[in-house]
Structure 1
Amino acid sequence: MSKFEIEFKWALYFTAFNALWLSLEKVLGWHDELIQQHAFYSLLIIIPQVVFFYLCIKAKRDDYFKGEANWQQLFVSGGVLALLIAALSPAVVYYMNRFLSPDFIDLAIDRYLMSGGKEAEAKNFHSLEAYIKNGILFNVSMGIVIAGPVAYFLKKKKPL
């Protein structure tokens, strides 16, 4: 087993889940008629993200470290997972904005303008480039925040 095979596998799983999550958002109307609710409800993905990190870090402890690993080893595993998810996130953002919801950016800009925002700000904040950048930063930062406590709870030493 290669050093980061487990993290890569779970990053692919999470990326596929993320694409499915975006499809659910579309079905629920958060990409069009209920776009004003998108910013709030899209954060619910953090709940399954914690589960994915838990499962990955637990698999790393059990399969790679043979059941015994300290916090630092498991935190590094979570950090690698966060970086891999972040590296894959532009593909998901592109899929959403080009195939799943091609009108999403225009609708988000319209909604921003209706709430009193300026057009230049709206176009700067709601662009494919901005969404890709925000996706990368969100996945790295949330991944690190999640990895710390998950690694703490999953650390395990051999009994004396």
Structure 2
Amino acid sequence: MKALKIELKWAFIFTITTLAWMLFEKTLGWHEDNIENHEWLTLLFLPFGILMYVLVMREKRRRHYDKKMTWFQGFLTGAKMTLFVALLSPIAQYITHNYITPEYFNDIIEYSVTNDIMTRTKANDYFNITNYIWQSAIGALGGGLVVSAVVAIFLRRS
């Protein structure tokens, strides 16, 4: 467990940062009045997510690998953090949609139906806590592995 301590710590930091970002989005009205821009504005979180992968790999390289790290070691560090983030994502979704922005699903469903993006049935099937839990876990796994692979290229040291 000691070998996973750094990745687990950064997964918690990542999850807390995600929750803070959700509060930020809610505060700026991206879940209500400006919901039409929510999809692309959420991408502004990407640099913060990448930064956390850089920081976990730097810390792991410094504390665990004696300031040397291969690409594979960096990728493995990022992959472990990714797994923990994916496991924490259902909790983050629950907190987001029950405490931070409980009206989000109603707002996005109404926006989608009103603007003829999808039918009410499809919107109800797509915009719900169960679907978002699955999307966040799978998205965390896919995105995290890609980011881990790329960041590890830049942080390897021999």
Q: Map residues 1-150 of structure 1 onto 2, 5 A cutoff.
A: 2-116=2-116, 117-150=118-151
CA distance in 2, matches of 1:94, 1:33: 22
- Give % identity: 27
TM-score, L = length of structure 1: 0.95
- Give how far 1:90 is off: 1.1
List 4+ stretches of structure 1 deviating above 6 A.
Answer: none
With 37-46 and 19-28 compared, the bigger mean Cα shift is at 37-46
| Secondary structure, aligned partner of 1:9 | helix
Output the amino acid matched with 1:53.
Y
What residue ranges of structure 1 are gaps of 5+ in the alignment? none
CA distance in 2, matches of 1:105, 1:149: 34
What residue ranges of structure 2 are gaps of 5+ in the alignment? none
- Give how far 1:138 is off: 1.3
CA distance in 2, matches of 1:8, 1:85: 8
The number of residues matched between the two structures is 157
| Secondary structure, aligned partner of 1:3 | helix
TM-score, L = length of structure 2: 0.96
CA distance in 2, matches of 1:74, 1:100: 34
